[in-house]
């Protein structure tokens, strides 16, 4: 562990040292608090600590402050991000999350808030270390990587936790099969309303708590990033007239079937934001187009044969049980 990954940290001008022991957090060298890059290189070259964990000291020497969130819940991560600000580097720890910031004079403060420690001094275990006393004891980058250390922000002035909780929305639980599209649409809506992109991860984590069960933190961050890309490209149609597009090659693939093109455009305009998650596609749409049910089934089946649609649930168990489909492209 140390032998393989310490050179990456050193290349990014972060002096790391080996740790171990029952919990994997005990420094294995003396004078670690004064560890510099030359000494770190010598430890790697010496080869004594190949399999050890790795850690660094927070504070003025490394110019790093770490917000240690001692909870695995996305809601608590969202609170921390809302209070202290967003950061390009988030690490998943065995007990919660580590948020990396540029040191700005902070001191080490245990329980600065409920479930939150401020590491403005002392050691911090670094990825990909593993705590041997925990079943899920790995440290891993959840967002960002070492390349992002040069653009870390400083902690923003804390706001009251009660204010931070206003980021949460009150809505009934979002079930599996709808969670990703729900979060994506909420993120697009927030951006359309003018919320800063750097506050989006915190809001997405808060919305994720409405899901049953919540999505993994990494997926939440990916959804927020995807929404930001859509918005930056001018493809955020929330609050604007819905649009759908079709390529020349798709027109050719559909073989001049104008009904298939029409239905595909209708479906893309209505459900393209769902990110591949299922939606009802019942006879009512065909009726709105003035089609006989048989024709609607034929056109829908044609799009399935051409791999534009996929049936995920046949429905038909009774009234109010429509078939479910998802867009494949």
pLDDT in 10s for each residue of the chain, 329 residues: 899 999 999 999 999 999 999 999 999 999 998 889 999 999 999 999 999 999 999 998 899 999 999 999 988 898 888 888 889 999 999 999 999 999 988 888 888 777 899 999 999 999 999 999 988 899 999 999 999 999 999 987 543 333 333 333 434 456 677 788 888 888 888 888 777 887 788 778 777 777 777 888 788 888 888 889 888 887 777 766 666 778 888 888 888 788 999 999 888 887 776 666 788 887 878 888 889 989 999 999 999 999 999 998 887 777 777 788 888 87
Instruction: Please report the pLDDT score of residue 96 as a whole number.
Output: 95
Instruction: Please report the pLDDT score of residue 169 as a whole number.
Output: 41
Instruction: Please report the pLDDT score of residue 171 as a whole number.
Output: 40
158 Cβ neighbours under 8 A, 6+ residues apart:
83, 84, 113
Domains, the chain, with CATH or none: 2-161 (no CATH), 168-232 (no CATH), 248-327 (1.10.10)
Judge contact between 2 and 27, C-beta under 8 A: no
pTM here is: 0.53
Where on the phi/psi map is residue 37: left (φ > 0), alpha (ψ -120 to 50), or beta?
alpha
SS (H, E, C) 29-60: CCCHHHCCHHHHHHHHHHCCCCCCEEEEECEC
Q: Where are the alpha helices (DSSP H) in 131-281?
A: 161-164, 179-192, 200-208, 217-232, 248-253, 258-271
> Distance (Å, rounded) from C-alpha 16 to C-alpha 272?
46
Give the residue from 15, 12, 10 showing the smallest Cα distance to 150: 12
Judge contact between 258 and 302, C-beta under 8 A: no
Give the residue from 40, 41, 23, 44 showing the smallest Cα distance to 31: 40
Instruction: Please report the pLDDT score of residue 268 as a whole number.
Output: 84
């Amino acid at each position: 562990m140390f032998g393989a990954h310490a050179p990456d940290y050193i290349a990014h001008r972060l002096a790391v040292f080996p740790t171990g022991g029952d919990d994997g957090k005990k420094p294995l060298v003396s004078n670690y608090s004064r560890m510099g890059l030359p000494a770190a290189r010598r430890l790697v070259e010496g080869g004594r600590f190949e399999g050890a964990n790795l850690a660094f000291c927070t504070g003025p020497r490394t110019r790093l402050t770490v917000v240690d969130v001692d909870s695995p819940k996305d809601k608590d991560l969202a609170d921390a991000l809302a209070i202290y600000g967003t950061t390009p580097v988030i690490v998943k720890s065995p007990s919660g999350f580590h948020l990396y910031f540029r040191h700005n004079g902070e001191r080490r403060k245990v329980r600065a808030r409920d479930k939150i420690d401020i590491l403005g001094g002392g050691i911090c275990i670094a990825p990909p270390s593993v705590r041997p006393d925990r079943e899920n004891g790995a440290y891993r980058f959840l967002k960002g990587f070492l390349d992002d250390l040069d653009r870390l922000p400083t902690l923003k002035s804390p706001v009251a936790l009660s204010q931070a909780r206003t980021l949460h929305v009150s809505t009934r639980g979002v079930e599996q099969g709808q969670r990703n599209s729900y979060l994506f649409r909420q993120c697009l809506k927030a951006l359309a309303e003018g919320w800063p992109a750097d506050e989006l991860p915190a809001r997405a984590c808060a919305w994720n708590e409405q899901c049953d069960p919540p999505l993994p933190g990494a997926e939440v961050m990916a959804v927020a990033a995807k929404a930001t890309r859509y918005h930056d490209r001018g493809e955020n149609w929330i609050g604007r007239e819905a649009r759908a597009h079709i390529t020349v090659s798709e027109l050719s693939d559909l073989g001049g079937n104008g009904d298939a093109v029409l239905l595909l455009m209708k479906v893309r305009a209505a459900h393209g934001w769902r990110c591949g998650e299922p939606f009802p596609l019942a006879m009512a749409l065909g009726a709105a187009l003035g089609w006989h049910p048989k024709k609607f089934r034929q056109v829908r089946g044609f799009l399935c044969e051409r791999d534009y649609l996929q049936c995920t649930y046949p429905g038909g168990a009774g009234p109010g049980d429509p078939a479910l489909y998802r867009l494949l492209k």
